[in-house]
Amino acid sequence: MIKVEKVYFTYNPEEENVDYVLKGVSFEIKDGEFVAIIGHNGSGKSTLAKLLNGINIPTKGDILINEMNTKDESHIWDIRKTAGMVFQNPDNQIVTTIVEEEVAFGPENIGLPREEIRKRVDHSLKVVGMEKYLYHAPHLLSGGQKQRIAIAGILAMNPSCIILDEPTAMLDPIGRKEVMETIFTLNEDENKTILLITHNMEETIKADRVIVMNDGEIYLQGSPREIFSKVKELKEIGLDVPQVTELAYELNKDGFLDDYKVLSIEELVEKIC
């Protein structure tokens, strides 16, 4: 689905001593996979998201979305239909005054028949659990509801892949839970490829794979259990681990637990018992 090959990127290519934001990043994401990308501020996560959607173009290297190169301008609309983008602030993505019109905006712009638009709007709102809000004004909804409407708008375009750039960063715990449940549904029930960029470690636990970025490079990658077992390495680059893993790690250091590689409260209880 996504192939990133030795990608370098700078915002100032004309400068003599170029300061690259991304430095030789390479990875692949398979169809239907759920991959989380984590890293502290300035590690290059959001820059990478904009490159994957063709908003920015690599300075060096290539990005292929379903075999389409983001450098090829003739493919850019097909790339954006294949890989939908959800931004951090839903207010930056909502353009209409009625929920129904908001979700229909994308399909209308690519000229789909009216009956198909109707089907997509109803399906998308049902998937994100917002079908009761068809005629509501988006600006009167909560943060979590707005973000779910933004996701429905992308879903109505029927992309194979959805890239989410810190979609819960501006939300309270209830809104965060709503959005994360929606993302899991998209991956598990709708078989969408998910690329979740986040700074919240708890949100990555159900991912198939976690990529850790540091200073524009891939620092670690593996399953959530493999990544969060490397507590010392993550702390060295200013990252935390899920709270339950941190607790297990401290118990292990004090000799109360043989193994600290846990990702849920249930697992920790089991090990303590």
Residue 60's H or E segment, with its range, is strand 60-65
pLDDT of residue 81: 86
In a domain, 54, yes or no: yes
CA distances from 101 to 158, 190, 235 (A): 16, 23, 45
Residue 15 has pLDDT above 80, yes or no: no
Residue 263, domain member (yes or no): no
The enclosing domain of 15 has a CATH number of 3.40.50.300
The pLDDT assigned to 171 comes to 83
Number of domains forming the structure of the chain: 1
For residue 8, the enclosing domain spans: 2-241
Residue 270 lies in a domain: no
Decide if 178 is inside a domain: yes
Whether residue 271 lies inside any domain: the answer is no
- Does 56 reside within a domain? yes
- The predicted-structure confidence for 48-73, as pLDDT tens digits, reads as follows 999 998 889 999 999 999 999 999 99
| pLDDT 10s digits, 204-243 | 999 999 999 999 999 999 999 999 989 889 988 888 888 8
* Inter-CA distances, 153 with 33, 71, 94, Å: 21, 26, 9
Task: Let me know if residue 57 belongs to a domain.
Answer: yes
pLDDT score for 257: 86
Supply the pLDDT for residue 53. Answer: 87
Q: What are 106-139's pLDDT values in tens digits? A: 899 888 999 999 999 999 999 898 999 999 999 8
Q: What's the rounded Cα separation, in Å, for the pair 47 and 11?
A: 10
| pLDDT surpassing 80 at residue 16 | no
**Residue 262 within any structural domain of the chain:** no
Supply the pLDDT for residue 258.
85
| Averaged pLDDT for residues 247-267 | 88
Query: Residue holding tokens 């970025």?
Result: 213
Query: Predicted confidence band at 172 (pLDDT cuts at 50, 70, 90)?
Result: confident
Q: What is the pLDDT of residue 175?
A: 85
8 Å CB contact between 183 and 192:
no
pTM of the model: 0.88
**Under 8 Å between Cβ of 53 and 77:** no
Residues sharing a CB contact under 8 Å with residue 53, sequence separation 6 or more, in sequence order: 79, 80, 83, 85, 163
Give CA torsion, residues 111, 117, 123, 124, to 10 deg: 50
By CB neighbour count within 10 A (0-12 exposed, 13-18 middle, 19+ buried), where does 135 fall? exposed
CA distance 149 to 63: 28
Amino acid (one-letter) located at 45? K
* Cα pseudo-dihedral 229, 231, 232, 238, rounded to 10: 140
